[in-house]
Structure 1
Amino acid sequence: MIRNTLYHNKLKRLRKLLCLCVFSMMLSAPYATAANLNSLQTQITKSKQTKAQIEKQQKQLEKELAQSEQAIASASLKVNQTKNAITKARSSLATLQSKTAQLKANKRKQQSLLEQQLTSAYMSGENDLLKLLLNQEDLSKLSRAKGYYDYLNQARLDSIDDLASAQKELEDNEKKQIQTIESLKKLHSEQRKTQQIVNQEKTKRDRALKALKKDINYQNKKIAELSRSEQALKARLKKAREERKAREARKARELAAAAAEKKRAEQALTKFSSQKGKLAWPVNGRVLNHFGGARSSQVKWKGMLISANEGEKVQAAAAGRVLFAGYFKGYGMVVALDHNDNYITLYGYNQTLLHKAGDRVYKGEAIALAGHSGGQDRTSLYFELSHKGKAQNPLPWLSRR
């Protein structure tokens, strides 16, 4: 924050210097002499140096913006992973608690059974067998009585063993519950720390973005940069595609059998051109800007801008392979999918990416989380469709909602 304040103060002084230079030139023009001409040239040189300093500060802020957005993407992905881990831990805890309840019920049942057996033994009296011996009853009756008392003794021993086993299992289960609760607490603590990092990075990104927008040269340069970024992105995508094809060609020579199988599998896929009007919507928001609409006085939209909620899952419009996944100036966090028939779909302004270059994805699969990277004021998704490098209106390709 201190650095931004110093930068704004310095920027104000530099702007004043530029104005004074221009004003001095206007006043001194009719009375120009060799001496004041040298003075004007010196002021012009200083003005150019001042402009160079402003541009240097601007580049530094743009670099900080890119670093901040990449940090947000990484931290948001970790928050998402921690949420999934917490869900699993809660499910495990619920299972353990249910098991504990069953074990406690079983323990009470075993205790009740043992109490009944002990009460029965006490009421009948264990000296009945001795009485039979002293009274010299017939041997068959004596034998049956002995077997009955042996059975009762064994039943009591079995009940004691079952009770001890239930008690041990209950203690083990309660230990697991304690461990799961501790793990859950740790995950919650980790999530809070990670979310704090995300918030800090967002604040840092917002400060850098506000500083950029206050720069008098930023809006004028942004129009030209958009065109250059578009061409640079197309060139990079083309290069990435060529590099991927080269790698696949080398792999095909080394593993001929595997390449043949892959070719047969790709030929079995439905052609992309036949899916017009059937593609899945990347997000469920409304269309903010249409293809061909004015993006600025000199630039038109090459795709469409769709509203989205921050962190909302961005889905692949069709099956394909990730051609590019990373940060690109003007588009933020970008993922591009290569489909057959030379079609490419591009998804920009994301918060974070869920796949890397080379991954195979399927229609409707989550490939990113929506955000407002690339210097955007609101959360949205930029969606572009191109064929052989030429942008097409993506709306007729999408299914009706």
Structure 2
Amino acid sequence: MRGKAIFSITWAGTVRPLFCASALSAGVLLCAFPAHADDRDQLKSIQADIASKERAVRQQQQQRATLLAQLKVQEEAISAAARKLRETQSTLNELNKQIDAMNASIAKLEQQKASQERNLAAQLDAAFRQGEHSGVQYIFNSEETARGERMQAYYGYLNQARQETIAQLKQTREEVAAQRAELEEKQSQQQTLLYEQQAQQAKLEQARNERKKTLTSLESSIQAGQQQLSELRANESRLRNSLARAEAAAKARAEREAREADAVRDRQQEASRKGTTYKPTESERSLMSRTGGL
């Protein structure tokens, strides 16, 4: 049985012997070469950082998806609120036009009523004056008396018609005034609704803007996290390659030294068979020591 050495690999790829007892099969030294502990720890640390950063980025991406969904809902709500606001404003504008029309109608009716009242007053005054001046003629002239009676009857009918017109005008004016009051009440309600909708729309837009700011910040954080992930993965790849190269170099050196040690042992055995002794050189003794002793 021959001794077997385990070699430790430094970052620069140099090999340091760590001696241990082991078995060697078929005269060939097959040694395991673990990488330097610091490099392995560094690799594990980088891999842990990568896993942690990946979790953080996934969580941020989920938050982004949630924010985007909320923003979509808010955009739809803002669009609906804007549509209702336009409808309310349109209704309010129409009510304002109707109220203006009602006010114009009432003013016109007031003018008509005033004109009818003036005409009625003028007719009554004319009838009174005519009656005063023709009183003596009524006594002496029966024809004038009949004519006066007809005129009085005519004025009576005319005055009654105008009084009825005035009454109708008054009723119409009252109805128009009632309609205007109803329209003004609707106008007040629509104006209140308009203010409420404007406040709601402003609130929705403020919430949307806040979410957009949060989304922008989150996008920047995700981008930075992905950049860090790229750098960590690049570092991991470089470290893996360095470790692989160091392990390959150490393994190749160990295999070469094992072959050289076997050659020394073969020379010793050959000398022994011939009855002589082969004395290894200093470097060969060091080699034999590193590969498991003489």
| 1:107 matched residue in structure 2 | 113
Is 1:158 matched up with 2:161? yes
For 2:52 and 2:169, how far apart are their aligned partners in 1?
A: 88
Residues 220 and 49 of structure 1: CA distance in aligned 2, closer, same or farther (over 3 Å) = closer
Preserved contact between residue 120 and residue 162 of structure 2 (Cα < 8 Å): yes
1:190 to 178, 193, 212: 193
Q: Give 3-state SS (helix, strand or coil) of 1:32's partner.
A: helix
Alignment deviations for residues 263-313 of structure 1 (CA, whole Å, 9 cap, x no partner): xxxxxxxxxxxxxxxxxxxxxxxxxxxxxxxxxxxxxxxxxxxxxxxxxxx
| 2:84 matched residue in structure 1 | 78
Residues 166 and 219 of structure 1: CA distance in aligned 2, closer, same or farther (over 3 Å) = farther
For 1:80 and 1:54, how far apart are their aligned partners in 2?
A: 38
Superposed displacement of residue 67, structure 1:
1.3
Q: What amino acid does structure 1 have at the position aligned with 2:194?
A: Q
Q: Give 3-state SS (helix, strand or coil) of 2:73's partner.
A: helix
Residues 125 and 146 of structure 1: CA distance in aligned 2, closer, same or farther (over 3 Å) = closer
| 2:127 matched residue in structure 1 | 121
Is 1:59 matched up with 2:65? yes
Which one scores higher on RCO, CA 8 angstroms, separation ≥ 6? 2
- 1:157-306 → structure 2 map (5 Å cutoff): 157-215=160-218, 216=220
**Aligned residues: percent identity?**
19
Superposed displacement of residue 164, structure 1:
0.7
Superposed displacement of residue 86, structure 1:
2.0
For 1:114 and 1:44, how far apart are their aligned partners in 2?
A: 102
Residues 72 and 56 of structure 1: CA distance in aligned 2, closer, same or farther (over 3 Å) = same
Residues 213 and 49 of structure 1: CA distance in aligned 2, closer, same or farther (over 3 Å) = same
| 1:88 matched residue in structure 2 | 94
| 1:388 matched residue in structure 2 | none
Residues 210 and 151 of structure 1: CA distance in aligned 2, closer, same or farther (over 3 Å) = same
| 2:38 matched residue in structure 1 | 30
Is 1:68 matched up with 2:71? no
Residues 219 and 187 of structure 1: CA distance in aligned 2, closer, same or farther (over 3 Å) = farther
Preserved contact between residue 127 and residue 152 of structure 2 (Cα < 8 Å): no
Q: What amino acid does structure 1 have at the position aligned with 2:107?
A: A
Residues 149 and 110 of structure 1: CA distance in aligned 2, closer, same or farther (over 3 Å) = same
Preserved contact between residue 212 and residue 218 of structure 1 (Cα < 8 Å): no
Superposed displacement of residue 30, structure 1:
2.9
Superposed displacement of residue 75, structure 1:
0.9
| 1:358 matched residue in structure 2 | none
Superposed displacement of residue 91, structure 1:
1.7
Preserved contact between residue 129 and residue 146 of structure 1 (Cα < 8 Å): no
Superposed displacement of residue 93, structure 1:
1.7
Alignment deviations for residues 131-162 of structure 1 (CA, whole Å, 9 cap, x no partner): 84xx4744x44432321221121112112111
Preserved contact between residue 57 and residue 222 of structure 2 (Cα < 8 Å): no
Alignment deviations for residues 224-269 of structure 1 (CA, whole Å, 9 cap, x no partner): xxxxxxxxxxxxxxxxxxxxxxxxxxxxxxxxxxxxxxxxxxxxxx
Superposed displacement of residue 206, structure 1:
0.8
Q: What amino acid does structure 1 have at the position aligned with 2:198?
A: Q
Determine which structure has more spread, i.e. the larger CA radius of gyration: 2
For 1:156 and 1:106, how far apart are their aligned partners in 2?
A: 15
For 1:167 and 1:75, how far apart are their aligned partners in 2?
A: 44
Preserved contact between residue 81 and residue 201 of structure 2 (Cα < 8 Å): yes
Preserved contact between residue 89 and residue 180 of structure 1 (Cα < 8 Å): yes
Name whichever structure is richer in helix by fraction.
2
1:149 to 149, 152, 165: 152
For 1:40 and 1:219, how far apart are their aligned partners in 2?
A: 19
For 2:223 and 2:71, how far apart are their aligned partners in 1?
A: 16
Name whichever structure is richer in strand by fraction.
1
Q: Which runs of 5+ in 1 are unaligned?
A: 1-27, 222-401
Preserved contact between residue 137 and residue 145 of structure 2 (Cα < 8 Å): no
Return the TM-score normalized by structure 2.
Answer: 0.56
Residues 63 and 218 of structure 1: CA distance in aligned 2, closer, same or farther (over 3 Å) = farther
Preserved contact between residue 61 and residue 222 of structure 2 (Cα < 8 Å): no
Return the TM-score normalized by structure 1.
Answer: 0.42
